[in-house]
């Protein structure tokens, strides 16, 4: 399912922005973009994301904007001393007297200001997690709205499935009668006048009735459709359970199609298969 959530929070003199987004995917594919100094948080962030999403291509982006004011900038004393030492060594190798001026030291020191240094991960983690949770809640809210829309669509498609199934159920009892009439008509056309109570005729009709009996498949399909509707309206994970139920519904429809020896039923079976496929495609994105 698609979703997006964003939050911002002050981080000292700078601003931390957390963005969480997702697109459809059958399994969870989680990616992150974090400042290098905070990469140790990947495990903690992943754990929290999994509480909100079990499917989808989810991306988490942490961005720090702004810079430290000059008063908070820190010179890297070791780096400055190292540069001066290398300059002194270079001057000595060239037999040049090296006397650093205050201006040179100032310039070197300014070039080594740690303007972009982030707070240590253990210090920043509580604030980062709070901002992440805010973004995740907005992300989950958007996905919930999409889920509500999908629920309406699923209920409508379930009604369509039941309509096609009832067409099969209504037609099924007449298939044997139609076959019996056709059988007697063919026998008469062949010049064979057999009574309806003839043992051979009764046996043929009984075998055909057994082969094309759809009562079990219709009953199971109705049961599965009720389970599917109950699942849709329940709390918790829906997606994988729904996929299993739809798979079983597909098995029943396939059996109906293979057993049916009737054009009307065959057409209804085709509509059932088409509608089930549409539901399968959509349910693959639902958690």
179/261 same-domain check: yes
Residues 102, 138 within the same domain: no
C-alpha distances (whole Å) from 36 to each of 18, 123, 234 are 15, 15, 42
Number of domains in the chain: 3
238 & 270 share domain: yes
Its domain, for residue 54, covers 3-69+118-142
pLDDT at 71: 47
Same domain, 250 and 267: yes
**The domain boundary residue, chosen from 142, 158, 188:** 142
Instruction: Please tell me which of 16-20, 123-127, 191-195 the model is most confident about, judged by mean pLDDT.
Output: 16-20
Quick check: 26 pLDDT over 60? Answer: yes
CATH code assigned at 12: 3.30.230
Which of 22-36, 49-63, 69-83, 208-222 is predicted least confidently?
Answer: 69-83
According to the model, what pLDDT value does residue 226 have? 94
pLDDT at 58 over 70: yes
Q: In this model, does residue 5 exceed pLDDT 50? A: yes
Same domain, 214 and 245: yes
Q: What are 22's two structure tokens?
A: 């997702």
pLDDT tens per residue across span 224-260: 999 999 998 887 778 888 999 999 999 999 988 887 7
Residue 180 burial (C-beta neighbours within 10 Å; 0-12, 13-18, 19+)? middle
pLDDT tens digits, 130-184: 999 999 999 999 998 888 888 899 999 999 999 999 998 888 887 666 655 565 5
Share of the chain above pLDDT 90, in %: 39
């Amino acid at each position: 399912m698609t979703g997006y959530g964003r939050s911002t929070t002050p981080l000292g003199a700078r601003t931390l922005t957390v963005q969480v987004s997702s697109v459809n995917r059958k399994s969870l594919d989680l990616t992150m973009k974090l400042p290098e100094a905070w990469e140790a948080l990947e495990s903690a962030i992943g754990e929290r994301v999994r509480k909100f999403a079990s499917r989808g291509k989810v991306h988490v982006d942490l961005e720090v904007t702004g810079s430290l004011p000059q008063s908070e900038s820190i010179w890297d004393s070791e780096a400055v001393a190292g540069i001066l030492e290398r300059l002194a060594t270079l001057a000595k190798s060239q037999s040049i007297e090296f006397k650093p001026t205050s201006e040179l030291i100032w310039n070197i020191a300014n070039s080594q200001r740690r303007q972009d240094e982030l707070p240590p991960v253990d210090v920043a983690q509580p604030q980062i997690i709070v901002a992440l949770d805010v973004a995740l809640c907005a992300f989950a809210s958007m996905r919930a709205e999409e889920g509500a829309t999908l629920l309406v669509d699923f209920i409508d498609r379930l009604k369509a499935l039941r309509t096609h199934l009832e067409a099969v159920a209504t037609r099924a009892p007449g298939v044997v009668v139609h076959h019996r009439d056709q059988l007697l008509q063919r026998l008469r056309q062949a010049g064979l006048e057999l009574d309806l109570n003839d043992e051979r005729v009764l046996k043929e009709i009984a075998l055909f009735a057994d082969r094309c009996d759809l009562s079990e498949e219709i009953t199971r399909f109705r049961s599965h459709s009720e389970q599917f509707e109950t699942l849709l309206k329940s709390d918790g994970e829906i997606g994988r359970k729904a996929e299993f139920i739809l798979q079983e519904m597909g098995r029943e429809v396939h059996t109906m199609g293979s057993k049916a020896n009737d054009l009307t039923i065959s057409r209804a079976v085709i509509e059932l298969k088409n509608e089930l496929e549409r539901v399968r495609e959509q349910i693959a994105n639902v958690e």
